[in-house]
Structure 1
């Protein structure tokens, strides 16, 4: 029976049981061939419509309900108030106190080890073991049967060894050998290693100190901290040099503006050659600053980090703006003809004023140097023909000081020295006039 009536599946016609493969073909087939059974057709359409709604699982009423729920939810989220924070307790002070205690304890223990290591470095090779036992008290080996680090039993094959820094006992596998050079680098700062006495360390490069792993870890931490403090990244070194040059250029620019104002006003305090030399020096330093900023911008980045790249570009941009807005905008110096015309106009203006002054005593201003520069001493620089006149001797000395200050580009000192030179020359002329008048009076009396 089962073989005579096989089970069929698909879009079957309820009348002829033909498989139409799709719902549309089934409806068309039923309308064309079985149109007399309208009730059956209606039932099929109703069944198909319910199946379609069940598959979609969403009708128009459900869509409206869903839209209303979404709108209400949005309104609820917008109108919700922030939730007040709960109770909180700050443990920062407690954490800092514990950290401070541990750091102080670790620092004190490390300093003890460094002091003992410094004393070990000073020991002679003669009777060294006895000196090490005097420096650090060794533990009694009879009371220790096992290695404290690995818990291995001491026997003939596994001997006891003592740490030269703390005196504790350990086996050979748990001990660490500290080389003489590494010990010296820990005790002495890195920059002073080349200044140490090489004769005292000659022949001891192969010496080693047996220490425990605990002391080795503490000394290694100290060495790492020392290296981090003394070794700076290349970008830090370049930036420090850049800032140093900027500070020097700022002082030079300030002096240049002072010299420019003095020259353009017709004063004879500064000379045009000195101002030109100063401007050339500013240009040279500006080129150096620009080169360093380019070098910082082109430094390779070991790990991809956008902040490092942004920092390098910012340094380059700031340096370019500094040169463009501060150094390239310096006013140009007047030419020799323009300077002569300015001085002539000043003389004409001053001649109209009454500036006659009678100076009986000449006070020579003392040159005080506050920038770390002083002229070299003049020994045997004054010729013997001027020793008879102290003022002439002093004039020659000041002239030599002016030459030294100008070669060192200390133009502020040049101004003070030239003022002293003018006062000395004025005093010398007054003395010469007095001597001439005295000679005339003596000759008149003799006649």
Structure 2
């Protein structure tokens, strides 16, 4: 198909126009400029009408046309690559990564010991903070808060930790509000810091007693307060006692709550989560325990069944056929339960978004494979 932008042809002026200045478009014959309306008609017309003519000039015109088209496409491609390179240059923060050269691996240094040192210091700091808060909680819940006079209760609370001087804190450290006659200062009973009424938090006494009882149980067992993760929380409710709704806060009396800052409350809630995680094992661990229990029963009953089967097949009367049949039914039920448990373990979390860690999925597949081999 040739358009008005085609190279000059016989009978046309410069720019693909005819001698009359008219621009023609369509399936035009390159020699006689006849419009054939389709590719098939154009091919048939050229073979019938111009097959014997010298088409050297035509070949030259086609080469010229293709050359111009090629140059135009090359220029367009270069422009697109230039735009893409400039975009990459901008997006990569001013670094043209396409011009980087491959570099050999240089010297390496193991930072494991340094990491362990910094991690140990961080853990020690966390343990010290937790121990201080737990000891102060123990003191704050050691007396009957409901029957104690408010003035005496406040004096006992001030004896637990030194309170920050009011004159040293003109603004709330959390929200930045300036303290006035109407916006009073409130002290955290655990660290002594100051906050405004909008930023103060309250801890239920039941929540404090839950944490301190874990400490007492650990100390009685001969461990440290931080070892309470292994013994605390048995028989306790799994719900979060520290996070109360507005209605429950309104129902509680002031004597049943301990004022705290957001920082201390966050540390204690994290401690509670760790206790609950110790008490509640993951689903995969529960299923695996059941799986191991079934496998242990099979390993205990299978030799007895084989012994019965060999004796009965030999024609001996030591065992009864009914007992062997019942034992076989029990084994078949255990096999089915092992298969079901291993299948459930293998499909845990596959429908969730996001899915579990690849190592967790690999562990589940290996458990399923091990159970399959055992059944075989």
Length-normalised TM-score, structure 2: 0.56
Residue aligning to 1:140: 165
Residue aligning to 1:347: none
User: Deviation of residue 264 (structure 1)?
Assistant: 8.7
Judged with a 3 Å threshold, the aligned counterparts in structure 2 of structure 1 residues 42 and 107 are, in CA distance, closer, same or farther, namely same
Query: Are the equivalent residues in 1 in contact too, given 2:311–2:319 (CA < 8 A)?
Result: no
Query: Are the equivalent residues in 2 in contact too, given 1:110–1:218 (CA < 8 A)?
Result: yes
Query: Are the equivalent residues in 2 in contact too, given 1:245–1:285 (CA < 8 A)?
Result: yes
Query: Are the equivalent residues in 1 in contact too, given 2:164–2:192 (CA < 8 A)?
Result: yes
In the TM superposition, what are the counterparts of 1:1-400 in structure 2 within 5 Å?
A: 10-13=16-19, 25=29, 27-28=31-32, 48=61, 51-52=64-65, 54-57=67-70, 84-125=104-145, 126=148, 127-187=152-212, 188=214, 189-193=232-236, 207-254=256-303, 272=319, 276=324, 281-293=330-342, 295-296=344-345, 301-303=351-353, 305=355, 315=367, 318-323=370-375, 325=376
Judged with a 3 Å threshold, the aligned counterparts in structure 2 of structure 1 residues 259 and 51 are, in CA distance, closer, same or farther, namely closer
Counterpart CA distance in 2 for 1:20 and 1:153 is: 83
Judged with a 3 Å threshold, the aligned counterparts in structure 2 of structure 1 residues 296 and 20 are, in CA distance, closer, same or farther, namely closer
User: RCO higher in 1 or 2 (8 Å CA, sep ≥ 6)?
Assistant: 2
Larger proportion of helix: 1
In structure 1, stretches of 5+ residues that fail to align are 1-6, 31-40, 59-81, 195-203, 326-447
In structure 2, stretches of 5+ residues that fail to align are 1-12, 35-53, 72-101, 215-231, 238-250
User: Deviation of residue 164 (structure 1)?
Assistant: 1.2
Counterpart CA distance in 2 for 1:46 and 1:289 is: 80
Counterpart CA distance in 1 for 2:193 and 2:21 is: 100
User: Deviation of residue 210 (structure 1)?
Assistant: 0.5
Query: Are the equivalent residues in 1 in contact too, given 2:204–2:258 (CA < 8 A)?
Result: yes
User: Deviation of residue 226 (structure 1)?
Assistant: 2.5
Counterpart CA distance in 2 for 1:18 and 1:256 is: 102
Counterpart CA distance in 2 for 1:20 and 1:168 is: 89
Larger radius of gyration: 1
Length-normalised TM-score, structure 1: 0.48
Counterpart CA distance in 1 for 2:27 and 2:342 is: 79
Counterpart CA distance in 2 for 1:111 and 1:160 is: 27
Q: Give the ranges of 4+ consecutive aligned residues of structure 1 lying more than 6 Å apart after TM superposition.
A: 16-20, 41-44, 258-268, 308-311
User: Deviation of residue 162 (structure 1)?
Assistant: 1.6
Judged with a 3 Å threshold, the aligned counterparts in structure 2 of structure 1 residues 23 and 165 are, in CA distance, closer, same or farther, namely closer
The CA RMSD over aligned residues, in Å, is 4.5
Aligned length: 272
Query: Are the equivalent residues in 2 in contact too, given 1:145–1:154 (CA < 8 A)?
Result: yes
